[in-house]
Amino acid sequence: MVGKKSGKALRDEGLERTDNNMELSSWPQIPAINQKNYYTDYLKRDDQNLAFRLQNEEARTKMTKKAKDHDRALAMAKTETAEGEGEADGDAHMEDAEETPAEMAGSKVIVIHMGSQNLRIGLASDALPKTLPMVIARKAATNESEDHDEPKPKRFKHDDGSEMEPEKAFGLEWSSHFNRMSADLKVHMRQNKRRMLPNSKEMVVNYNRRTVPEIISEHNDPMRAEWTELSSPPPEYIVGQPALRVPDSSKPRYKLYWPIRNGWCNEKDYTSKRSLFLDISLIVEDAIKNQLRLTSKKDWTQYSCVFVIPDLYDKSYVTQVLDMLMREFAFARVCFIQESLAATFGAGFTSACVVDIGAQKTSICCVEEGMCIENSRVNLKYGGQDVTETFIKMMLHDHFPYADINLWRRHDFLLAEELKKNICTMNEASVSPQVFDFHLRVAGQDTRKYTFKAFDEVHLAPMGVFEPDIFDNSDKITGRRTLIDRSVDIYDGSPNDPTSAAQSEILTAMAPPLPSHGKTNGESHSAAPDVQATPGRPQHPNALSKVQDLEGTPRSSVAGSPGPENTGTPQAGGTSTPAAAATAAQAPRPPAVEDRDDIMPVFGLDNAILTSIAHASRSDEKKMRDFIGGIMVVGGGSLTSGFHLFLEERLQALRPGFSKEIMIGTPPRDLDPQVVVWKGASIFGKLTGTNDSWIGRLEYDRLGPRLMAYKCMWAY
């Protein structure tokens, strides 16, 4: 129509062509793709992925080398037969060649398992790891006991500053809890027809009251302790065992730092992430140099490293460790393995419910066919060290003759650990008033020999893992997330650390209610001091019932979506008006329970195990029976005598229907439960051909921590 109009008419309408009839651009114009028929295989094939490509190339190179070796062996066999030398055939030569490999499997793989108290390190070819304390002593103005005006365990004082009588020293609440546990034990022992003297406690208290130490001069003490002598000039830092043996009164003073605390990075005692990881690297480096005798750092490029991480790990921690191992230590390859999975490898089980009781954390996880069941992972913040502290508190309560014991002092901490290991028991038959003795050895002082009596303290302290309110849980989350930020999704900024329905269940049961206006993730941290200020905080009233109804299907409310009582979220189907709904929509969404930093995961061990198993079996009764009959307890905290039987009885009492199936196993072959995880990781490090999780130098240099998504057997 337009073409038939005259030029003037077009000009009047403003439609006249004023250009030079050429296209706007000489670039070819590409029509939009019809999305219906759109297809691309970009990032869909393995060969587009560097990690897979390198892996395949490595496999190809190995196969080619093997084939060449095979040909060479055959050719040699033929030559030898022709020359009439010997009657051996080619296969025998091949076998000979294979039987004498150039180096022992695993001799170039360093396996590292860091704990809150102990570092276990060794070559994968070693039978057992070296164990050393995960501690560093740094030159400082004061030592740690001088820094804490309140000795640990904390004690209450009278208004005039004098110390309270031992029975009141730890507060009324704690004292009545202890007395209640004591009374319960008495009832239980009577039910089990165990003989008990009616006045056992009084006997113990009276004995301890009158005991005075015997002084043994240093030259008469054949077992006197070796203290670390400071060189001149004094070193900036001392690591491992010698650090624990620096006298408290050393000149200059040294302060102890433990970079791992409660199974997390120690964000309480450090002031920066840099110094925290510097200490970790110094401790590990010293161990590699002095324990593994790999003194030249240049040679480390020929070594690979297997590093054990927690089941519920923090992504930012793993990323940082990977960076340290790749850049600072320059290992050729690195791979990670989760603690529980490593424990099953170490014990040679394919499926088990692994309970790892360490020094400051206890983890539980069901493993099935070589994979951790994600929703069964539980991480609780207590362990053997809490038992030590509580044992000393109970003894002090009952007039322990060495009333000045202070666990912030190195020699006292070591003494307390020793006493706990030798005396504590979960065996009810051993609970009776007994006399014990110990030698107190302090640098530069005569040895003092104390005798004391103990009664039910030896049993009630380790029982704390089933009643963890008796532990001092007041500062276990102090400093959390102050140095290391939570890992977040790069697209939507939401937290993306691994979660578990079992852990959420437990956190939900313990969660203090959020302030009604709902805080964001960042703000939630500020709630922590409130919680810390109330030790022995009563649990959520529903805590136990929530867990006890778990035999059936896990409730949907716990799988990452906390219930209304914890979040203040308006309930669907309630009487909310549209206006209220609009207000609710505008209000910031409360953080999911696993994203809150103000909850202490401290929960009775027996219930926690059942929670984990319930989530692993997901109402499949056969699975439930399998896991409940295959509980494996590892970690130093499980070494208390009689622990396994006691745990079995507790679980039977909670699940009478399964009492025949419940079985607590120990690692086979008399393997020390403390090293099972390390052992499993060393086996993992020796696997050839089936381990795809090695991260190589080239790929790390190109892709960085993004590689983890391809290299982890679990969802990263």
In the complex, the residues that contact ligand ATP under the rule CB under 6 A are: 115-118, 263, 358-361, 383-385, 388, 417, 421, 635-637, 639-640, 674
**Nearest distance, CB of residue 55 and ligand ATP, angstroms:** 32
What is d(CA 678, CA 337) in angstroms, rounded to the nearest whole number? 10
N-term to C-term CA, the chain: 64
Minimum distance between the CB of residue 715 and ligand ATP, rounded to whole angstroms?
24
Cα distance between residue 457 and residue 393, in whole Å? 9
For residue 566, the minimal CB distance to ligand ATP (Å) is 28
In whole angstroms, the minimum distance from the beta carbon of 260 to ligand ATP comes to: 6
At 404, phi and psi to the nearest 5? Answer: -90, 5
Asked if residues 361 and 468 have their Cβ atoms less than 8 Å apart, the reply is no
Cis peptide before 310 (omega within 30 of 0): no
Least distance to ligand ATP, CB of residue 415, Å: 12
Asked whether the beta carbons of 624 and 617 are under 8 A apart, the reply is yes
Task: Identify the burial level of 196 via C-beta atoms within 10 angstroms of its C-beta, where 0-12 means exposed, 13-18 middle and 19 or more buried.
Answer: middle
- Residue closer to ligand ATP by CB (options 411, 655) is 411
Buried b (16+ CB within 10 A) or exposed e, 42-76: eeeeeeebebeeebeeeeeeeeeeeeeeeeebeee
Neighbours of 418 (CB within 10 A): 13
Closest CA to 461 of 387, 521, 360, 382: 387
Q: Which residue is nearest to ligand ATP (CB)?
A: 358
Q: Which of residues 333 and 420 has its CB atom nearest to ligand ATP in the complex?
A: 420
Least distance in angstroms from the C-beta of 407 to ligand ATP: 12
Residues 149-171: b if buried by 16+ CB within 10 A, e if exposed: eebbbbbeeeeeeeeeebeebbe
What does the alpha-carbon distance between residue 709 and residue 716 come to, in Å, rounded to a whole number? 5
- For the bound state, the minimum distance from the C-beta of residue 431 to ligand ATP, rounded and expressed in Å, comes to 16
Using only C-alpha atoms, the chain has a radius of gyration, in whole angstroms, of: 32
Nearer to ligand ATP among residue 388 and residue 607 (C-beta): 388
Name the minimum Å distance from CB 427 to ligand ATP: 13
Residue closer to ligand ATP (CB basis): 675 or 695: 675
Residues 6+ apart with CB under 8 A from 11: none
Nearer to ligand ATP, 562 or 635 (CB): 635
**DSSP output for 229-290:** PPPSSPPSEEESHHHHTS-TT-SS-EEEE-SEETTEE-TTT-S-HHHHHHHHHHHHHHHHHH
Q: What span, in angstroms and rounded, lies between the C-alpha atoms of 9 and 42?
A: 54
Beta carbon nearer to ligand ATP, 316 or 385: 385
Q: Which two tokens stand for residue 618?
A: 């997901």
Nearer to ligand ATP by Cβ, of 115 and 464: the residue is 115
Rounded least distance, CB 157 to ligand ATP, Å: 29
Please say which residue, 265 or 440, places its beta carbon nearer to ligand ATP.
265
Integer Cα distance of 110 and 124 in angstroms: 6
- Nearest distance in Å: CB 335, ligand ATP: 20
- Residue number, 417 or 626, with CB nearest to ligand ATP: 417
* Cβ-based nearer residue to ligand ATP, 563 or 642: 642
